[in-house]
Amino acid sequence: MSAAKGLLRDKVVLITGAAQGIGRETAVLAAEQGADLILADRSEIVEETAQAAQAAAQAERRELSVATVLADLETWDGAQKTAAAAGDIDVCINAVGGTIWAKPYDLYEPERIDAEIRRSLFPTLWMCRAVLPRMKERGAGTIVNVSSVATRGVNRVPYSAAKGGVNALTASLAMESAPAGVRVVATAPGGTEAPARRIRRGPGAQTEQEKAWFSEVVAQTVESSYLKRYGTLAEQAWPLVLLASDVASYINGTVLPVGGGDQG
């Protein structure tokens, strides 16, 4: 998957949730594709992503400008800090999020519902708000949000609701911001194979019942994919980079499903 070259040449790209998973993979690919980077996360291992991006740029025989920002993007203060540190950017890719628990909705504790929404909606909501004024002032910019095909799925209704909010945010903000020259788009990843998370989203399944509920999520995710498998990190990163690039300049307000046929 390396045929394209220079899709993000001369672009300054801010990527949130860059320490691991889709965010990290997208950062490395963006470096290969010519971008300079600001990488944000609340974990210090985002520095390792910066190093991996440097190595990718060196392999392409180019110099890379890369900076990191440590911030809690579940908060407005964290989003403001990140936007201020990033300065003028061409692209903001919002990759923070991920389901924490898996269980039937009527068994979710209220505080866990709140936590799921704060994890998977507010970082995107806050970052869009934080970067938008400068993009509008400059008359250009692209925001690429990471949603999920799990807007339809079992045992994670709060997460589904949060990602449904990301979809609505993407569509409405695109309509509102287009006159100012700002595009807003999103991808909706399906199940994605990735290395074990070094920073866990939550405690994980503790009981046999919790393990069974999580297994139901996996089974439904695979079954909903026409290809009957999880995707790879590269298969998620490439659509994000494509939508961030000028190749996609006439795509706006769209949520692109990347779930092997699952439309979410």
pLDDT in tens, 24-83: 999 999 999 999 999 999 999 999 999 999 999 999 999 999 999 999 999 999 999 999
Residue 97, pLDDT above cutoff 80: yes
- Give the percent of the chain with pLDDT over 90: 93
Residue 153, pLDDT above cutoff 70: yes
Calpha distance 162→165 (Å, rounded)? 5
Which residues does the annotation mark as catalytic? 159
- For 104-122, b where at least 16 C-beta lie within 10 A, e where not — what string? eeeebeeeebebbbebbbb
Query: 1-5, 11-15, 111-115: which has the minimum mean pLDDT?
Result: 1-5
Q: To 10 degrees, the CA torsion angle through 225, 229, 234, 238?
A: -20
Which CATH number fits the domain 12-258, given the four candidates 3.20.20.60, 3.40.50.300, 3.40.50.720, 2.60.40.2230? 3.40.50.720
DSSP letters for 136-155: HHHT-EEEEEE--GGGS-SS
Q: pLDDT tens digits for 209-238? A: 999 999 999 999 999 999 999 999 999 999
Give the mean model confidence (pLDDT) for residues 181-204: 86
Residue 3, pLDDT above cutoff 70: no
Give the mean model confidence (pLDDT) for residues 100-122: 97
Domain boundaries, the chain: 12-258
Q: Could you tell me if 107 and 61 are in contact, meaning their C-beta atoms sit under 8 angstroms apart?
A: no
Mean pLDDT over each residue of the chain, to the nearest integer:
95
Calpha distance 53→28 (Å, rounded)? 4
pLDDT value at residue 200: 67
pLDDT value at residue 1: 46
Residue 204, pLDDT above cutoff 90: no
